C-alpha cells in the first residue's frame, strides 16, 4: 500500500462496538486508545496480558478468553488485529474485508485496509501521523509536532471562537530576550486573539503573531503612563467578555513589582477567568546576565528586592545581604545615601546592568560611595537593575581590586579578605 492510497480521516467511535483480536502488549495499547475514543471494546484472545486484565477487571471492556471466530465480527464497526500470528491476523482481516468492516492488520501493514497513526493530543488538538508504514518514524514526527505546539512554535490559536466568554492570561515574558519566556507563556501567546503589551516584554515575539491578532500597547516609561492602570484593567475584562483569548504580556514576572496581582483580582471580580504564568524576573536574571548571583556561598545568604522609589531603611544594611533595586536609576543618588545612612559601608560593591540579555547590555561597577557619579558620567538609563552587596565581586566585569581571597563553594566559611 502506497501512502498515496491513504485517505486521511477520523473515526467517531463513541458508543460503537469494536473488536480487538489478540491479548498482548500491542492489543492492550490499541484497546486503551479505542476506549479513550469512547468505543465499546471487546477483546478476543485465549490469554490476556496484565494490562488488558486490569482493563477487564475495571469493567472497561469485555474479554472472550478463546480463539477468534468469524461471528465475532457481527455488528462491529472496526477491528484491530494484534495476535502476533500472521495467519490469524490475515484470517481476521479477510473476514472483515468480506463484511466491509474496516480492519487494521498489525501483522501486514501493506495489506491492511486501515492504518493506525501515531497520535498525540495538545489542548483540544489531536495529531495523527502516518509515515509510509514506518511506526518509529511516525512517532518521531508526532513528538516533534506536539513539542512545536506545546512551545508555541506552531499556532494553537482558535479561529472559531467558543460560545462562552473569553479568558485572560497574565504572562511574564522575562527581561526582554524572546528566548527567556516560559514554554507555557509562549504557547498561550500563540493562542491569543488580543495581546495587551508592555514596553519591556519580549517584543520580538509580537512580530511572529498572526496579522489579525490585535496588539494593544500600554507600555509605561518612568514618569509617563499613557494608559493608566485602571484603564488596562478595563481593557482586559472588556476584551475577554467579547469572547477573546487575551494575553497580558509583561516584562519580568507579573507578580514581582508588576501589578499583576491587581490585574488578576480585577478580572476575577468581573467574572473573567484568569491564568497567571510566572516569568523569569529581571531581579534575578539580569544580574545573572552580568555574572552576579544574588546569593552565593560565603558571600550572601539572602537578598531583598525593592524599587528605587521605596524607603530603604528596613533593608538589612550589610554587604552580605544583597539589595536589588528595580526602576531605581532616577533615585540612585538618594538610595545610595539612604543605605549609607543605615550603616552600609561606602566601599560596598554596586553593579548596574542595563538592558540585560539584549545586544546593548552594559555593566557599570563601582561602590556605594561612587556609583551615582559613575552612572551619571556614563549616562545610565532604564531599563536597568542595580545590585548592591558583596556578590558583585563575583562578576567577571568586576575590577581586579574588587576580588576577594575566597568566594568559592569549596571553603565558603573562610573569612573573606579584601585587597582594596
pLDDT by residue (tens digit) across 288-302?
999 999 999 888 999
* Mean pLDDT, residues 374-402: 93
Rounded (10°) CA dihedral 319, 323, 324, 330: -100
Closest of 53, 114, 47, 120 to residue 81, by C-alpha: 114
223 pLDDT more than 90: no
167-280: which CATH number, 3.10.129.10, 3.30.430.20, 3.40.50.740, 3.40.1010.10?
Answer: 3.40.1010.10
CATH 3.40.50.720 location in the chain: 3-116
12 pLDDT more than 80: yes
Closest of 385, 293, 294, 292 to residue 332, by C-alpha: 385
Contact call for residues 362 and 395 (beta carbons, < 8 A): no
Banded model confidence at residue 157, pLDDT cuts 50, 70, 90? confident
DSSP lists the bridge partners of residue 217 as: 197
Burial class (CB in 10 A: 0-12, 13-18, 19+), 66: exposed
Comparing 28-32, 152-156, 406-410, the range with the smallest average pLDDT is: 406-410
List residues with catalytic annotation: 198, 220
Q: How far apart are the first and last CA of the chain?
A: 79
Which residue bears the cell 500491542?
Answer: 26
As a CATH number, domain 3-116 is 3.40.50.720
284-402: which CATH number, 3.30.365.10, 3.40.640.10, 1.10.3720.10, 3.30.950.10?
Answer: 3.30.950.10
Distance of alpha carbon 313 from alpha carbon 302, whole angstroms: 17
Rounded (10°) CA dihedral 110, 114, 119, 121: 160
Comparing 42-46, 146-150, 207-211, the range with the smallest average pLDDT is: 146-150
Highest mean pLDDT among 153-167, 198-212, 274-288: 274-288
Banded model confidence at residue 325, pLDDT cuts 50, 70, 90? very high
Banded model confidence at residue 85, pLDDT cuts 50, 70, 90? very high
Closest of 29, 73, 34, 35 to residue 52, by C-alpha: 29
pLDDT, residue 154, reads: 81
pLDDT, residue 136, reads: 86
Banded model confidence at residue 419, pLDDT cuts 50, 70, 90? very low
* Mean pLDDT, residues 225-251: 93
262 pLDDT more than 80: yes
Amino acid at each position: 500500500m502506497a501512502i498515496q492510497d491513504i485517505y486521511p480521516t477520523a473515526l467517531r467511535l463513541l458508543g460503537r462496538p469494536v473488536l480487538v483480536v489478540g491479548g498482548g502488549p500491542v492489543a492492550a495499547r490499541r484497546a486503551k486508545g479505542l476506549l479513550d475514543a469512547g468505543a465499546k471494546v471487546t477483546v478476543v484472545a485465549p490469554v490476556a496480558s496484565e494490562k488488558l486484565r486490569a482493563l477487564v477487571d475495571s469493567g472497561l471492556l469485555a474479554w472472550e478468553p478463546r480463539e477468534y471466530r468469524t461471528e465475532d465480527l457481527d455488528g462491529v464497526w472496526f477491528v484491530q488485529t494484534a495476535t502476533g500470528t500472521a495467519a490469524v491476523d490475515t484470517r481476521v482481516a479477510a473476514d472483515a474485508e468480506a463484511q466491509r468492516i474496516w480492519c487494521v492488520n498489525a501483522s501486514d501493514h501493506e495489506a491492511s485496509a486501515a492504518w493506525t497513526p501515531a497520535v498525540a493530543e495538545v489542548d483540544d488538538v489531536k495529531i495523527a501521523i502516518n509515515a509510509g508504514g514506518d511506526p518509529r518514524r511516525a512517532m518521531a514526527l508526532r513528538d516533534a509536532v506536539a513539542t512545536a505546539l506545546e512551545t508555541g512554535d506552531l499556532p494553537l490559536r482558535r479561529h472559531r471562537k467558543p460560545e462562552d466568554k473569553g479568558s485572560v492570561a497574565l504572562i511574564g515574558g522575562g527581561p526582554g530576550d524572546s528566548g527567556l519566556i516560559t514554554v507555557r507563556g509562549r504557547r498561550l501567546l500563540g493562542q491569543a486573539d488580543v495581546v495587551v503589551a508592555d514596553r519591556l516584554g519580549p517584543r520580538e515575539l509580537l512580530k511572529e503573531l498572526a496579522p489579525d491578532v490585535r496588539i494593544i500597547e500600554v507600555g509605561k516609561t518612568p514618569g509617563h503612563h499613557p494608559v493608566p492602570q485602571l484603564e488596562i484593567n478595563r481593557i482586559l475584562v472588556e476584551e475577554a467578555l467579547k469572547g477573546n483569548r487575551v494575553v497580558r504580556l509583561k516584562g519580568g514576572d507579573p507578580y514581582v513589582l508588576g501589578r499583576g496581582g491587581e490585574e488578576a483580582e480585577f478580572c476575577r471580580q468581573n467574572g473573567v477567568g484568569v491564568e497567571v504564568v510566572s516569568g523569569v524576573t529581571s531581579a534575578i536574571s539580569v544580574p545573572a546576565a552580568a555574572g552576579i548571583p544574588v546569593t552565593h556561598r560565603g558571600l550572601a545568604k539572602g537578598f531583598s528586592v525593592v524599587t528605587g522609589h521605596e524607603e530603604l531603611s528596613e533593608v538589612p544594611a550589610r554587604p552580605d545581604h544583597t539589595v536589588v533595586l528595580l526602576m531605581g536609576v532616577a533615585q540612585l543618588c538618594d538610595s545610595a545615601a539612604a543605605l549609607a545612612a543605615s550603616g552600609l559601608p561606602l566601599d560596598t560593591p554596586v553593579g548596574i546592568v542595563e538592558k540585560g540579555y539584549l545586544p546593548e547590555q552594559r555593566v557599570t561597577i563601582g561602590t556605594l560611595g561612587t556609583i551615582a557619579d559613575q552612572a551619571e558620567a556614563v549616562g545610565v538609563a532604564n531599563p536597568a537593575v542595580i545590585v548592591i552587596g558583596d556578590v558583585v565581586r563575583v562578576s567577571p566585569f568586576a575590577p581586579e581590586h574588587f576580588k576577594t581571597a575566597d568566594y568559592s563553594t569549596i571553603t565558603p566559611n573562610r573569612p573573606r579578605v579584601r585587597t582594596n
